[in-house]
Amino acid sequence: MKGIPRFTKRYFERYRTSPLELKPYLSRQKEIGTKIVNEIINIVDDPKTEIVLRGSTLYKISGKGDIDIGIYATPKRWQMGLDKLLAFYGEARVIEKTFAAFNLECNGFPIEISLMKGHQIKVDKALTTYLLNNPKSLAEYENLKKQYCFSKREYLIQRDKFFRSIINSL
C-alpha cells in the first residue's frame, strides 16, 4: 500500500524529549469517547461522514490516557465538516491539506479529534484493521510505547517507523 509522506528529522524536533507518562487503558475512556463520537455525529450532521474511536482507546491498550477520535470525510464534505468543527470547538491545533486536529478535554481526559480525507483515511483504516486483527503486532506496538516512553520525540520517531513498516507491508 502507498503510505503517507515521510516526516523529516526537523518535523520530530518540534517535540519535547521529556518522558511520556503511560497510563493503563480504562473502560471509562471508551464510554467518554463514545459520548464525544455521538456529539460529533450531531455537530457534523452528515451520514456520509464516518466518526470512530481510534488509537489506544479502540485497541484497549496503555497509552497517554487520551481519547482519539477519527472523522473520515469525503473530499466534497471535508470543508463543511471542518467549518462545523471550528464553529463548535473553536481553533484547531493544526489544519493541513488532508488533516485537521482539535484538542479538548472531557471529564479529565484529553481528547484528540482528527478530521481526515482522501488517502489519509485509507491508510488509517488499513493500519487500524491490521492492528485489530494481529494481536502480536498490537502487543509489539504497546511494548514500543513502554520502551520509548523516556522521550516523546523518540517515541514518535519509533512509532512512525513501526507504522510505516506495517503500511508498506500491506
Q: Which tens digit of pLDDT belongs to each residue from 59-118?
A: 999 999 999 999 999 999 999 999 999 999 999 999 999 999 999 999 999 999 999 999
Residue 5, pLDDT > 80, answer no
CATH code for the domain in which residue 61 is found: 3.30.460.10
For residue 7, being part of any structural domain is answered with: no
In this prediction, residue 3 has a pLDDT band, given cuts at 50, 70 and 90, of: confident
Output the CA–CA distances (angstroms, integers) from residue 102 to 16, 27, 113, in the order listed. Answer: 20, 23, 5
Residue 2: inside a domain: no
> Which grid cell sits at 142?
504497546
pTM confidence score: 0.92
For 28-38, b/e burial (b = at least 16 CB within 10 A) is: ebeebbeebbe
- Gap between the Cα atoms of 27 and 33, Å rounded: 10
Under 8 Å between Cβ of 35 and 10 = no
The answer to whether 149 and 22 have CB atoms below 8 angstroms apart is yes
Report yes or no on 126 lying in a domain.
yes
**2 pLDDT tier (thresholds 50, 70, 90):** confident
Q: Is residue 5 part of a domain?
A: no
What domain range includes position 38?
18-169
Phi, psi of 100 (to 5 degrees): -140, 145
Chain position carrying cell 466534497:
76
* Residue 12: pLDDT over 90: no
**34-57 pLDDT per residue, tens:** 999 999 999 999 999 999 999 999
SS3 label, residue 101: strand
- Looking at the structure of the chain, the number of domains it has is 1
pLDDT band at 6 (very low <50, low <70, confident <90, very high): confident
